[in-house]
Structure formats: C-alpha cells, structure tokens
Structure 1
Amino acid sequence: MNPEATRLTPFGDGATLATLERDGFRVCVTNRGAALVSLVFPDGTDVVLGYGDGAGYRDDGYYMGPVVGRYANRIAGGRFDLNGHTWTLDPNEGANQLHGGPDGFGRRDWSLDTDATNGHPAVRLTLDSPHLDQGFPGRVSAEALYELEPGGLLRLTLTAASDRPTVVSLTSHAYLNLAGGGTVAGHEMRLYARRYTPLDGA
C-alpha cells in the first residue's frame, strides 16, 4: 500500500480526519462518531452530506454520517426485555431511546488506526462501551472498518462483541446525494438485505 493513500489531519474541536485515496476517489472519515464525512468522485462530486469540522458532529441532531448505536433506531418507551429482565434505558426522544441514547456511539470519539487490510487504504475505528452504558447490559467492543477498494468501492464493516447477552444494532447514518446537490426526489435505491426491521408508531 502506498503510505500516502491514508493520511490523518486535525479536524477541529479535538477530532481527527482520516483521508483515504485511490483511483481518483477520496473518502474522509472522522473519529468523531466514526462518521463518514465525504466521498468524492474523480470528477469532484461529493455525494455525502456532512459538516466541515469536528464541532458539527458533536451535537448533531440530524445524525449526519456517524455510526449510530449501541442500538440504531428507536426503542419504544426506553426499555426492553431480555432473558426475563427488563432493562431501562436513558431516553433522548421523549420516553423513547433513539440511536443509543443521549451519549450514543455517534456522539463519541472513537480510537482510530490507519493500518490497511488486504492492501486497501483503510481506517479502523474502535470503541469500548461499559456495562450499563446508556442503560444497556454488557460490555461491548465495537469496530467500524472503512476500506477504499479498487474502482472507488467503499466498504464499511461493522462488528460488535459483548461479554454477556445484550442487544446491539450498529448502522451508518450517512446521508447521500448521488448528484452532489439538489433534491433526491428522483433517486432510486436498491438494498440487498435478507431481513429488515419494520417500524411502528413509536
């Protein structure tokens, strides 16, 4: 791997920006929330909506770009049952918990490592979450691995491990506009998923 393919720079407000480059594509990721900041095509079009510095990601109410968790989406009433025990969570949307709570994974500074895997420019971000963090059981170690593969393929692999039964649902909350600006009303997206989570009124 070319050592110039991944570089780190200050991103303001104590955050760090990792820039991955390959085949004319440029990807920027910050340790603040493990957020995807930009994905720039060879023609200069940036298809990711984000902020210009780390401060924007600190208290972002729109969750633009971070990895959210411990549990993405809403947990109605801020509680859930697991193995006969009811766990009460820290709410942050009325009585509900949204995207892991008031101090969810998308609000935190992750540890960052630029070691590449498989010869691709890459950045690996890790975060440890203690037992009862935001009300969740179990100590969780989370990892987000961004890899820039040939032809501009951006691969994000999210993993988590816990020391006891718990619930974990990590996702990227990136906002994309394939035109680089304007409305997304005419865009179509296809998701290749074996399962999905239906929503109710909570």
Structure 2
Amino acid sequence: MITQAENSTAFKDRIKLPFTFDVNKLQEEYKALKLGSFTYYNVIPLRSPAHLVDTSLPFPPPADDYADGSWCDWMDTQELEKSPYLNEVVDFFKAKTKVTLVRLLRLAPNSTVKEHTDPTLGIEIEKSVVRLTVPIFSNEQVEFYLNDELMHMALGECWYMRLTDPHRIINNSTEERVNLTIDMIPNEWLRGVIEESQG
C-alpha cells in the first residue's frame, strides 16, 4: 500500500533542476534513430527491465511491489547504446543514483493525453520513483497542465514534477512533441537537489 512518507519534506509540484542539456545534440541523436511514423502516442525504451532487452535472461520472480525498481535488473537498449550524448545524459544520473526506466515519449500532432495520475511518481511517496523530464521537441502550441496549471518547460531543461497529481497534455501543433524521461530511485543526493532547486 502506498502511503505518505514519514517526515518527508514538502516539495512543490514542479521544480526546475539545475541541469541543462544540449538541445542540438539531443535532437540530432533523436533524428539519427530514424524512428518510423506512429499514431497518437509512441514510447521508445532507452533503458528497460533486463529480461525485456535480452530475452535470453530469465524473467524475475513476481514482486509484491514493482514501484521501487528493485524487482528486476535494468539494461540499456540498443537505441541508447548507439546514442552517445543520450548515453552521457543517462550516465550522469547513473553515477548519482539507481536509474531504472528511461524512455523517449512521442506525442503526435493534434493529439491529447487525457488527465491522469501516476501513483508512484512522487518523491513524497514511499517506495517511489522520481521521473525527470527533458523536453527535446516542443513548441508554444504544446500545453502540459499539472494540477490545472500550465507549465512552461524550455527545450533541454530538466524538470521534476509530482506526477501523482493530475496532469494532461494537449498538442495543438502540427509537429510531434518528444520528451526524454528518466526514472530513478530517490536518494539523499536527489532529494537534496530537488529541495535546493525549489527555492
């Protein structure tokens, strides 16, 4: 059962972190992947459960709780291995804490992600996973709402959002929106960065 973590710091629902990544390199490597066309929403795994990347590995035993990322080993995918700068970004966080799921999230033009919550993606939650978001392709017609308030995220910025709260996305543009998301296990370093960044 997910419960509020005891004695946790109260964090804002959105916090810009002091990391900025090279937009040109991110976009170039994304284009180099030569991903095909898609309808509505598309997910490109860059780091996934090891048994899904290497199918010769055995499936891990069933877990009582999958939220904290300890239920399996994690492995970089071929897409990440052939993307040096994306690898550099992920390795930066790997050196600080355990990185679990890493993905490129693509939202098609003129598409909407309905309002929803992600029950384990908030640092205040026990056995949580923290998801950091780095926009790679976006524009002023892409609207991300968190708690009914519009967010403004520039390309290459790195954001923590409390995604246990209601959020939705509207892409009113004629171009796809692409975000890099990096899930990780919160530790003292990450909590400190988030706390210091919220001002």
Larger radius of gyration: 1
Which category of TM-score, normalised to the shorter sequence, fits these structures?
under 0.3
Q: Which has the higher contact order (CA 8 A, sep 6+)?
A: 2
TM-score (norm: length of structure 2): 0.25
TM-score (norm 1): 0.25
